[in-house]
Structure 1
Amino acid sequence: MTSSGTNRGGPPNSLPTIQAPWELLLPAAAAPARARGRTLRTALRDAVRSGRLAPGTRLPSSRDLAGDLGVSRGLVTEAYEQLTAEGYLRSDRGAGTWVGEAVRAVGPRARDRAPRPAGVLADFVAGTPDLSLFPRSAWSAAHRGVLAELPHQALGYPDPRGLPRLRTALAELLVRRRGVVADPERVIVVSGVAQAMTLLGFVLHARGTPGVGVENPGSPEHGSLFASAGIGAVALPLDGEGLAMAELRASGVRAVVTTPAHQFPTGIAYSARRRAELLDWARSVDGLLIEDDYDGEFRYDRAPVGALQGLDPEHVAYTGSVSKSLAPGLRLGWLLVPASHVEEVVERKRTMDLGNPVLDQALLARFVERGDYDRQLRRCRRAYRERRDVLVAALEEHFPGARVSGIAAGLHVVAALPGRYGPQDRFLARAAAAGVMVRASAHYGETAVDGVRLVLGYAHLPPARIRDGVRLMADAVRDQGARREPSAP
């Protein structure tokens, strides 16, 4: 096979001639005649990208390479010209064809950076549903149905509000299950609660709002989402009924995020009195309550409390998603806004992403319309109630004196362990050494207390893993405690 040299900036023959790996192009010669040119071009590109043909490598003449491969010279000439135009090769008049200096070999393949802890025997970090409960069969059937019935024109750019079919289905669902006032024209399909918060943040920022109140303790994400829209977060304390009204009034904010159905992480439900006080405050300052109904469907001791938005839809923006009921990876949610905010939010949504994927929206609409979503909620509620009961029983068995606070709802509990298990930092270190991931309530902004106060997520763990995880924590504490005890005289 024809040999060729390399040159790194000097005359073509200033460096010794070396053998280049032209064998990698032989499969192109064996391709069908009609695909031979395309296959040769692809093989050359791949060789340059991977570094097998290094920058500065001189290629054989078109005549020599065509002879070596047994193809026409015109086919090689066309490949050289195409890759020269793309920048992979360079051609010097009278000096031949070379691999371009601009091309660099590709690096390692992309890594999955989703948070998945390794080496953990039990992960009690709150916020994740049981992904094994995802209704694959029903979802697949809905997908086939959507592909069969969706008209071609529906695959164009969608209404940034969302497909009318999905907005109608969501409005009916939320009226029935959460007691909201839902005009489909005010329903905006979003990529989860995170995008809903960001959209509202941009609109409030454009209106000159300097800050938004957030619950403290509360979800750490709320503050960072508003910060990304240029708005500061004002931390507001809670009392036993919900947001503390005196501090809210003194803060000067006119917009505040609330989780009245089931506050995270304390686990309380806002009292009827506090809900009324919040609405009176919003009316008095012409403000906005942003209701995050992240797990309002999951109440285990009684019917879920209706949404705050149903009491005053002109002063409450309501948002939720399928992240806890189906899977967070679907990135599908909804936002209901007062009439005074609709156009601004829709315009922000349009410029942000031109709307959510049409197929995904049509699929969720069909899933809701056919009752599959209601069935999924019932299935999850049964599973999560059982797991909560298992967790509470395991804490009582292995940590005598432990107190579980908050209502019987959601995907987490708050457990206060007696002072003898502290200090808290040492407890967390022992749990981690035993392969148990768990977070203290202080992680979410709660004031540090004596003893150990934990936020324990349970929805994503099967009952056996919950029992094992609690036992592992207890064993770690017991073993460390035994080593500290002085030996008997």
Structure 2
Amino acid sequence: MTDSWATFGADLHLAPHAGGLRHGLMEALRDAVRTGRLKPGVRLPSSRALASDLGVARNTVADAYAELVAEGWLTARQGSGTRVAQRTEPGGGTPVVRRSPPARRPPTYSLVPGQPDLASFPRAAWLRASRRALTAAPDEAFGYGDPRGRPELRTAVAEYLGRARGVRADPGRVVICSGFIHGLRLVGAVLGQRGVREVAVDSYGLDFHRKALDQAGLRTPCVPIDECGAVVAALGRWSEAGAVLMTPAHQFPTGVPLHPDRRAAVVDWARATGGLIIEDDYDGEFRYDRQPVGSLQGLDPDRVVHIGTVSKSLAPGVRLGWMVAPAAMVRELADAKGHSDWTTGSPEQLTLAEFIASGAYDRHVRAMRLRYRRRRDQLVAALAERAPDIRISGIAAGLHAVLELPEGTERSVISAAAFQGLALEGLSFFRHPDADRERDALVISYGSPSDSAWKGTLDALCRVLP
């Protein structure tokens, strides 16, 4: 607020409050009601008039009024304007009626990682692929399916992964699933049946991956992460670790690729111990300043389960993914799925198979790679100009970046962003409970905002950085 007072018909002093214009105005109005300087039933000026008095935007006043109405401080009726609500002081004969707090409004902007730009889903191309696929589909495609998935999709996936990701696959090794978590649960079930008790995971990662393994009865000790990726040598600490889950192409969330020496070392560990590597290839298609990092599975197809999905390349709403498994494991995974494919519908599988085989998937990925690279470059440029002390990393590939913060500031930056209507997640959110090292940082998804929201999102981010 630019002044410490405003006139509401009668003179009324409003002390300014910190925390932004809207928040400060709301607190000043609450104080005026609490102290009796604004009596029940008093009509407040219009949002236009008060905005003019205070020298703020009309939307700031209108939003403040709306939130105070929702909280029960004010009332708003057509033809009656905005008034102070009737309230009984505590200690009186009638108890104060307390309303439930309003539901938290969704943020205006979001840089929370986890999904791509949903507005860019290729609707027209997907519809064309669906029409062609369903027109050509045999009648049996609409019955109870093979738990491994439709042969058309397994064939298309094997061809694509071999060509684009360096995976050594044939359709017989491919099992279709409904996303990464589904695939991970199936692998966890098979490992449990084999007598495995522990699956090592990265010290920074997604908690629901750990929970999926926990639900299979598997313990999840953590492997440290440094500038070269997972510290593979640490696997020797756990004699019962029968598998390791990792994201070698672009570690999530730190963004570092697994160093070539460590790629070889983890394969050597699997061969020596009879262990299994679960490879999460969650955004392997998106690389910008480097040659593509091939799949770890290509080093030893009999020791690696490669799991991928279209959640980042297309959209998470397309519930389709794949596992490329060691030949000896395929039947166990199919048995874990059940006698029929209950989880992945045939029409969607046929559509994705046609979408890949026609080249539409490659075209979409190339277009999105250019879009995301522009976004990344704009993020880097904005930080260099407006927050030059912030170091950014993990940007050679993927859909997110890590912004290093001064020690002890992660929580305060996230709180400040919430007041700006910007949703952020800190690196601590992804930290394994047993991880040794803590870092103050933000994990920024430059892929998820729409084009129309991108500039405003960047501006909001730069305003809250220290």
**Same fold by TM (over 0.5)?**
yes
Q: Which amino acid aligns with 1:437?
A: A
- Cα 1:449–1:356 shift into 2, 3 Å: closer
- Cα 1:224–1:117 shift into 2, 3 Å: farther
- Cα 1:407–1:273 shift into 2, 3 Å: farther
Q: Output the CA distance in 2 between the equivalents of 1:176 and 1:297.
A: 12
Tell me whether 1:274 sits opposite 2:262 in the alignment: yes
Q: Structure 2 length normalisation: TM-score? A: 0.74
Tell me whether 1:312 sits opposite 2:300 in the alignment: yes
Q: Which deviates the most, 214-223 or 233-242?
A: 233-242
Q: Output the CA distance in 1 between the equivalents of 2:449 and 2:104.
A: 14
Pick the structure with greater CA Rg: 1
Structure 1 partner of 2:130: 143
Tell me whether 1:394 sits opposite 2:382 in the alignment: yes
Alpha-carbon contact 1:428-1:438 (below 8 Å) kept:
yes
- Give aligned pairs, total: 360
Task: For residue 463 of structure 1, report the CA deviation from its aligned partner.
Answer: 5.3
Deviation digits for residues 354-404 of structure 1 (CA, Å, limit 9, x no counterpart): 452111111111111110110110111011111111111112222121111
Deviation digits for residues 296-335 of structure 1 (CA, Å, limit 9, x no counterpart): 1100112311000001000001010011111111100000
Tell me whether 1:172 sits opposite 2:154 in the alignment: no
Q: Output the CA distance in 2 between the equivalents of 1:185 and 1:162.
A: 11
Structure 2 partner of 1:443: 429
Q: Output the CA distance in 2 between the equivalents of 1:158 and 1:223.
A: 30
Structure 2 partner of 1:296: 284
Q: Output the CA distance in 2 between the equivalents of 1:417 and 1:154.
A: 53
SS in 2 for 1:188: strand
Alpha-carbon contact 1:387-1:462 (below 8 Å) kept:
no
Tell me whether 1:426 sits opposite 2:412 in the alignment: yes
- Cα 1:126–1:224 shift into 2, 3 Å: same
SS in 2 for 1:265: coil
Q: Which amino acid aligns with 1:157?
A: Y
Q: Structure 1 length normalisation: TM-score? A: 0.70
Equivalent residues in 2 for 1:186-225 (5 A)?
A: 186-225=173-212
SS in 2 for 1:330: coil
Structure 2 partner of 1:181: 168
Q: Which amino acid aligns with 1:141?
A: R
Alpha-carbon contact 2:178-2:320 (below 8 Å) kept:
yes
SS in 1 for 2:317: helix
Task: For residue 262 of structure 1, report the CA deviation from its aligned partner.
Answer: 0.2
Task: For residue 151 of structure 1, report the CA deviation from its aligned partner.
Answer: 1.9
Equivalent residues in 2 for 1:73-88 (5 A)?
A: none
Q: Output the CA distance in 2 between the equivalents of 1:178 and 1:206.
A: 30
SS in 1 for 2:349: helix
SS in 2 for 1:205: helix
Unaligned residue ranges in structure 1 (runs of 5+): 1-115, 479-489
Task: For residue 154 of structure 1, report the CA deviation from its aligned partner.
Answer: 2.0
The alignment's C-alpha RMSD in Å is 2.0
Alpha-carbon contact 1:187-1:337 (below 8 Å) kept:
yes
Q: Output the CA distance in 2 between the equivalents of 1:474 and 1:355.
A: 43
Q: Output the CA distance in 2 between the equivalents of 1:408 and 1:376.
A: 20
User: Of 465, 470, 473, which residue of structure 1 is paired with 2:453?
Assistant: 465
- Cα 1:474–1:391 shift into 2, 3 Å: closer
Alpha-carbon contact 1:309-1:316 (below 8 Å) kept:
yes
Considering fraction of residues, name the structure with more helix: 1
User: Of 198, 214, 217, which residue of structure 2 is paired with 1:230?
Assistant: 217
- Cα 1:388–1:463 shift into 2, 3 Å: farther
Among the aligned pairs, what percent are the same residue?
Answer: 44
Structure 1 segments (4+ residues) deviating >4 Å: 446-450
Structure 2 partner of 1:240: 227
SS in 2 for 1:194: helix
SS in 2 for 1:160: coil
Q: Output the CA distance in 2 between the equivalents of 1:162 and 1:245.
A: 34
Deviation digits for residues 48-80 of structure 1 (CA, Å, limit 9, x no counterpart): xxxxxxxxxxxxxxxxxxxxxxxxxxxxxxxxx
Task: For residue 470 of structure 1, report the CA deviation from its aligned partner.
Answer: 3.5
Q: Output the CA distance in 2 between the equivalents of 1:447 and 1:118.
A: 36
Structure scoring higher RCO (CA < 8 A, sep ≥ 6) equals 2
Alpha-carbon contact 1:322-1:332 (below 8 Å) kept:
yes
Task: For residue 476 of structure 1, report the CA deviation from its aligned partner.
Answer: 4.5
Q: Output the CA distance in 1 between the equivalents of 2:247 and 2:443.
A: 17
Deviation digits for residues 113-159 of structure 1 (CA, Å, limit 9, x no counterpart): xxx98431220101110111111111111111122211222211111
Q: Which amino acid aligns with 1:362?
A: L
Unaligned residue ranges in structure 2 (runs of 5+): 1-102
Q: Output the CA distance in 2 between the equivalents of 1:474 and 1:240.
A: 26
Alpha-carbon contact 2:147-2:340 (below 8 Å) kept:
no
Equivalent residues in 2 for 1:4-403 (5 A)?
A: 118-252=105-239, 253-350=241-338, 353-354=341-342, 356-403=344-391
Deviation digits for residues 275-297 of structure 1 (CA, Å, limit 9, x no counterpart): 00001100000110000000011
Alpha-carbon contact 2:146-2:341 (below 8 Å) kept:
no
SS in 1 for 2:224: strand
Q: Which amino acid aligns with 1:314?
A: D
Q: Output the CA distance in 1 between the equivalents of 2:368 and 2:108.
A: 23
Q: Which deviates the most, 369-378 or 143-152?
A: 143-152
SS in 2 for 1:329: coil
Structure 1 partner of 2:17: none
Task: For residue 267 of structure 1, report the CA deviation from its aligned partner.
Answer: 0.4
Task: For residue 468 of structure 1, report the CA deviation from its aligned partner.
Answer: 2.5
Q: Which amino acid aligns with 1:284?
A: A
Q: Which amino acid aligns with 2:377?
A: D
Q: Which deviates the most, 219-228 or 433-442?
A: 219-228
Q: Which amino acid aligns with 1:244?
A: V
